[in-house]
Structure 1
Amino acid sequence: MLDSNQSQTNITVGLQYQGLLGMVMFSILTSVPCCVFLFINGTMLFTLRSKPVFRETSRYILLYNLLFADTVHLAQSQLMYILAVCRLRLIYPVCGFLIMLANLTNNISPLTLVVMSLERYVAVCYPLRHATIITIRNTGVAIMVVWGFNSLNIITQVLLLSNVHFENSESLQMEDFCGKESMLLDPISDYYDKAFTCFLFVAAGVTVTCNYIGVMITARSASTDQDSARKSRNTLLLHLVQLGLSLSSTIHNPLLVAVSKVLDRIMTVRIQTVLYVCMIILPRCLSSLIYGIRDQTIRPVLVYHLCFQWRRSPLLEVVPAKPKIMLVT
């Protein structure tokens, strides 16, 4: 009997150790690439504010807005992931703030991509009016409209959540980890969130596709700059890919819930880590990598800023050789 109890204790301790080891390993596997991508995104944001050409060109201003929202969303998602791994349960107001911030930054991306696609459409289809339509002021107004529209959506969600009453202070403590599903306590809030997400991505996809078709039709004209039209078509295709990547983050939680009903907890945690990296982390860093490599104006400045610290390292700093004095005889 004593041997049986000791064996059971050893098994329990072993499972707890494996769980702790797996938690640490998965935390490292997600935190390391997230920190790397945050560094790249931060460098890209600094690059877009370092030169007047970036600060005074509409498409670079829109790109800055897109990267800013993606970087905030990436940092906030990693924070919530760490809280879940550490098994820290928050109170509903704090969790609600984090979820609303995630919804705000997540919905900024598709709307910004719509504005960027419209800018490319005007550049190809109305090149003579591009300078008068796409101005710094109009770009700022478009960005304000994007943030205002998403803020109105957040206010609506907060008003819907206000229907959920907390009878005592103890009920403010969450029984589960902070997540989107744990905050949608009212069915109306859940229906509204799904309807708004579907409307947003369908409208954005249709708009970018129509802009792409318009550019294709205009590109067949002999008077059109074929090189500019080709680059604009490739840019619009890139926007469609980015929309698809942004959409993948919205199906992360429903897919994880479906997986958890079929597999055990250990496999669910492993699959959750893979889905988190592929659907949350990667889509938020690809914009800076793609634009940084693809754009001929951004690339040299971005590479310089990424390598600046490495070049300035005392261990790697190259001491210039002293000039030789040649004697003329």
Structure 2
Amino acid sequence: MSYATQSQTNITVGRGLLERVMLSTLTTLPCCVFLFINGVMLFTLRSKTVFRETSRYILLFSLLLAETIQMALSQILYLLAASRIRLTYPVCGVIIMFSNLTNKISPLTLVVMSLERYVAVCYPLRHSAIITIRNTAVAVIVVWTFSSLNVLTRVLLLLDFPFEDLESLQMKDFCAKNSMFFDPMSYEYDKAYTYFLFVSATIAIICSYIGVMIAARSASTGKASAQKARNTLLLHLVQLGLSLVSTMHHSLLVAISKIVTRTLVVRIHIILYVLIVILPKCLSPLIYGLRDQTVRSGLVVNLYFRLKLSVITGKGEI
């Protein structure tokens, strides 16, 4: 009886391990593909003078950089949880700090990009005077600084927690954003900041869209330019919505875990993780890489040479 029980336990453990490996592979492969595409896109946006000296491409580079870092950190945290590796509070805190920083940069950058399109359509004659390289650089610095201040506030709230009373700095749970909420104040601050950020960003993008629609009725405004700007602003709203949903990832899992089994929760977790965490982070290169002729040509060329180089390197190693 003891031998049968031990065999059954070994089979169950083996199946659990095999399932974790398969699920981790299913998330890691697309993540690596998207990271590769994002990396080539970032290289493309720095490879030509036209990209380095055009405001919308500078903003796109900032957005793509933040989303690439966020995707990489999300995958690292997922693999750590799937491997059942528990970090110490300081290490987890540093990872979550960078994750929060990059996560809040995306909606702010989308707002700046929407305002740039609004100025381009509604004030075409003043666009070159308002949207300069210097002003764009200042806007990017302000976005990253504002997001950094949010992280600094979170760190200051953590300093009030008596870590010396803990038996060990080793975490009892997997590293996640909610694991670093040691008191109600941190949780309430994070919720209030998130609501304020996304509501403000939504209002700003919608107002830009309305302004572009009004300008499109004017005879002095190019219809094609206005239509393209409207489509871009709609895409920004979609990106903002997906970014908001990704912040609700943990809350959705908590709600689902109350009505379904643990095994089903794990599988739903994988689906939600791929759909609302990984995929939204690769939308920027797909949207701008396919819609913008200048970016598309550079991206295709760089992807071709990168893939060709990888094939040649692989054959050389063989």
Q: Same fold (TM over 0.5)?
A: yes
Cα-to-partner distance string for 1:102-159 (whole Å, 9 max, x where unaligned): 1110000000000000000000100110000000000000001101111111111111
- State yes or no: 1:200 paired with 2:197: yes
Residue matched to 1:65: 62
Aligned-residue offset at 1:168: 5.1
User: Quick one: distance in 1 between partners of 2:294 and 2:275?
Assistant: 29
Aligned-residue offset at 1:289: 1.0
Cα-to-partner distance string for 1:192-234 (whole Å, 9 max, x where unaligned): 0001001000000010000000000010011111111111001
- State yes or no: 1:32 paired with 2:29: yes
Residue matched to 2:49: 52
Residue matched to 1:326: none
Which amino acid in the other structure matches residue 147 of structure 2?
Answer: N
Aligned-residue offset at 1:67: 0.1
Residue matched to 2:232: 235
User: Quick one: distance in 2 between partners of 1:165 and 1:187?
Assistant: 14
User: Quick one: distance in 2 between partners of 1:281 and 1:48?
Assistant: 22
Which amino acid in the other structure matches residue 159 of structure 2?
Answer: S
Residue matched to 1:123: 120
Query: Paired residue for 2:268, among 258, 268, 271?
Result: 271
Cα-to-partner distance string for 1:80-114 (whole Å, 9 max, x where unaligned): 11111111111111111111111110000000000
The residue matched to 2:163 in structure 1 has which SS?
A: coil
Residue matched to 1:223: 220
Unaligned runs of 5+ in 1: 318-329
After superposition, where does 1:114-263 map in structure 2 within 5 Å? 114-167=111-164, 170-263=167-260
User: Quick one: distance in 2 between partners of 1:264 and 1:10?
Assistant: 24
Normalising by the residue count of structure 1, what TM-score does the alignment of the two structures yield?
0.93
The residue matched to 1:88 in structure 2 has which SS?
A: coil
The residue matched to 1:291 in structure 2 has which SS?
A: helix
After superposition, where does 1:2-13 map in structure 2 within 5 Å? 4-13=1-10
Which amino acid in the other structure matches residue 48 of structure 1?
Answer: L
User: Quick one: distance in 1 between partners of 2:306 and 2:156?
Assistant: 47
**Which is helix-richer, 1 or 2?**
2
Aligned-residue offset at 1:260: 2.0
CA RMSD in angstroms comes to 1.6
Which amino acid in the other structure matches residue 228 of structure 1?
Answer: S
User: Quick one: distance in 2 between partners of 1:125 and 1:182?
Assistant: 46
- State yes or no: 1:88 paired with 2:85: yes
The residue matched to 2:161 in structure 1 has which SS?
A: coil
264-273 or 163-172, which deviates more = 163-172
- State yes or no: 1:106 paired with 2:96: no
Which amino acid in the other structure matches residue 106 of structure 2?
Answer: S
Which structure is larger by alpha-carbon Rg, 1 or 2?
1
Normalising by the residue count of structure 2, what TM-score does the alignment of the two structures yield?
0.96
User: Quick one: distance in 1 between partners of 2:60 and 2:40?
Assistant: 13
Which amino acid in the other structure matches residue 52 of structure 1?
Answer: T
Residue matched to 1:321: none
The residue matched to 1:150 in structure 2 has which SS?
A: helix
- State yes or no: 1:300 paired with 2:313: no
Aligned-residue offset at 1:255: 0.7
Kindly tell me the number of residue pairs found equivalent between the two proteins: 314
Aligned-residue offset at 1:183: 0.6
User: Quick one: distance in 2 between partners of 1:299 and 1:235?
Assistant: 16
Aligned-residue offset at 1:169: 6.8
